Amino acid sequence: MDVTPTPPRAASNLDWDPSTCQSLIAELSALRQALLQRETALAGVLSQVEPSYSASARNLVHYLELRRVDLRPLQEKLARLGISSLGRSESHVLANVDKALGILHRLAGLEWSGRAADEPAGINTSRTLLDRHTHALFDASPAGRRVRIMVTLPSEAATDYGLVKRLVAAGMDVARINCAHDGPEQWRAMAGLVRRAAHAAGRSVRILMDLGGPKLRTESLPPRPAVLKLKPERDDLGRVIAPARLGLRADAASPPVEGATAQATVDAAWLSELRVRDVVRLVDARGAKRELIVERRDAQGVLLHCEKTAYLVPKTELLRPHRGHAPRSCRLSGLPRRPSFLLVQRADVLRLARSEAITSSRGIGARRRLHTIGCTLPEVFAQVRKGERVWFDDGRIGGVIRAATADWMEVEITDARESGEKLGEDKGINLPDSELSLPALTAQDLVDLEVAANCADMVGLSFAQAPADIEQLRSRLKELGADGLGVVLKVETRRGFDNLPALLLAAMKDRAVGVMIARGDLAVECGYERLAEVQEEILWACEAAHMPVIWATQVLESLAKTGRPSRSEITDAAMSERAECVMLNKGPYIVDAMRTLDDILKRMQAHQSKKRQLLRALRSWDPREIASAPMT
CA-to-CA distance for 200 and 169, rounded, in angstroms?
10
Q: Phi then psi for 13, rounded to 5 degrees?
A: -95, 5
Bridge-based pairing of strands 612-613 and 608-609 is: antiparallel
Decide: 112 and 98 in contact? Cβ < 8 Å. Answer: no
pLDDT score of 225: 85
Is domain 132-214+439-607 given the CATH code 3.40.190.10 in the classification?
no
Coil, helix or strand at residue 244: strand
The radius of gyration computed from the CA coordinates of the chain, to the nearest angstrom, equals: 31
Decide: 268 and 250 in contact? Cβ < 8 Å. Answer: yes
DSSP state, residue 375: B
Name the class of domain 341-430.
mainly beta
pLDDT score of 203: 93
Q: What is the pLDDT of residues 307-324, one digit of tens each?
A: 999 999 999 999 999 887
Residue 96, CA distances (Å) to 32, 63, 101, 548, 584 in order: 10, 11, 9, 22, 36
CA-to-CA distance for 423 and 401, rounded, in angstroms?
17
Whole-model pTM: value is 0.80
Strand partners, 530: none
Element containing residue 581 per DSSP (H, E): strand 581-584
Q: What is the pLDDT of residues 194-215, one digit of tens each?
A: 999 999 999 999 999 999 999 8
Decide: 32 and 94 in contact? Cβ < 8 Å. Answer: yes
Q: For the chain, where do the domains classified as CATH 3.20.20.60 start and end?
A: 132-214+439-607
* Long-range CB contact pairs, 557-562, < 8 A, 24+: 557/585, 557/587, 559/587, 559/589, 559/592, 559/593, 559/596, 560/584, 560/585, 560/586, 560/587, 560/588, 560/589, 560/590, 560/592, 560/593, 561/587, 561/588, 561/589, 562/587, 562/589
DSSP 124-149: HHHHHHHHHHHHHHH-SPPTT-SSEE
Checking if the pLDDT of 37 tops 90, the result is yes
C-alpha triplet 386, 388, 394: angle, nearest 5°: 140
| Averaged pLDDT, 229-233 | 94
The band of 623, judged by pLDDT with boundaries at 50, 70 and 90, is: very low
Element containing residue 488 per DSSP (H, E): strand 486-491
Coil, helix or strand at residue 216: coil
* The dihedral sign for the CA sequence 494, 496, 499, 504: negative
CA-to-CA distance for 252 and 264, rounded, in angstroms?
7
CA-to-CA distance for 64 and 541, rounded, in angstroms?
8
CA-to-CA distance for 260 and 245, rounded, in angstroms?
5
CA-to-CA distance for 565 and 77, rounded, in angstroms?
44
| Neighbour count for residue 9 (Cβ, 10 Å) | 6
pLDDT score of 606: 78
Count CA atoms closer than 13 A to 620's CA, side-chain side.
2
pLDDT score of 358: 47
| Averaged pLDDT, 512-520 | 94
Q: What percentage of the chain reaches a pLDDT higher than 70?
A: 92
Coil, helix or strand at residue 25: helix
pLDDT score of 253: 79
Q: What dihedral angle (degrees, nearest 10) is formed by the CA atoms of 102, 107, 109, 110?
A: -20
Residue 438, CA distances (Å) to 218, 525, 603 in order: 17, 16, 43
CA-to-CA distance for 101 and 569, rounded, in angstroms?
42
The band of 18, judged by pLDDT with boundaries at 50, 70 and 90, is: confident
228-331 CATH pick, 2.40.33, 2.60.34, 1.10.10, 2.30.30: 2.40.33
Region at 593 (left for phi over 0; alpha for psi -120 to 50; beta for the rest): alpha
Bridge-based pairing of strands 486-491 and 513-518 is: parallel
Listed in sequence order, the residues at least 6 apart from 436 whose beta carbon sits closer than 8 Å to its beta carbon are 380, 383
| Burial class of residue 164 in the structure, from the number of CB atoms within 10 Å of its CB (0-12 exposed, 13-18 middle, 19+ buried) | buried
Q: What is the pLDDT of residues 470-509, one digit of tens each?
A: 999 999 999 999 999 999 999 999 899 999 999 999 999 9
Decide: 281 and 291 in contact? Cβ < 8 Å. Answer: yes
Q: For the chain, where do the domains classified as CATH 2.40.33.10 start and end?
A: 341-430
| Averaged pLDDT, 52-59 | 97
Q: What dihedral angle (degrees, nearest 10) is formed by the CA atoms of 124, 125, 127, 128?
A: 120
Average pLDDT score over the chain:
89
The band of 223, judged by pLDDT with boundaries at 50, 70 and 90, is: confident
| Averaged pLDDT, 105-116 | 89
Q: What dihedral angle (degrees, nearest 10) is formed by the CA atoms of 537, 538, 541, 542?
A: -150
